[in-house]
Amino acid sequence: SAQCGWRSVSSLSSSVDSSLHLPRSVSHKLRQIHKTTHALSLLNELYEASVLMLMSLTGDSLIQ
């Protein structure tokens, strides 16, 4: 779901780039920011998944 959002953000930023004819350095900066936020969102998803896994593992051991 997050990836879908980022895809729309990236397409939006590229369309803004083409319409505004931003300087190459500015558009490069925007692209770097987008890559960073995308990586952060992926890390967040990984973190949440690992927390859920740990919780289920500890829950199983507590029940037994």
C-alpha–C-alpha distance, residues 33 and 26, integer Å:
11
All structural domains of the chain with their residue ranges: 2-63
Per-residue pLDDT of the chain (64 residues; tens, 9 = 90+): 566 666 776 676 666 656 666 677 888 888 898 899 999 999 999 999 999 999 888 876 665 5
**Separation CA 10–CA 34 (nearest Å):** 7
What per-residue confidence (pLDDT) applies to 27? 80
CA–CA dist 51, 15 (Å, integer): 37
Instruction: Fill in the DSSP letter of residue 46.
Output: H
Distance CA 56, CA 48 (A): 12
Amino acid present at 8:
S
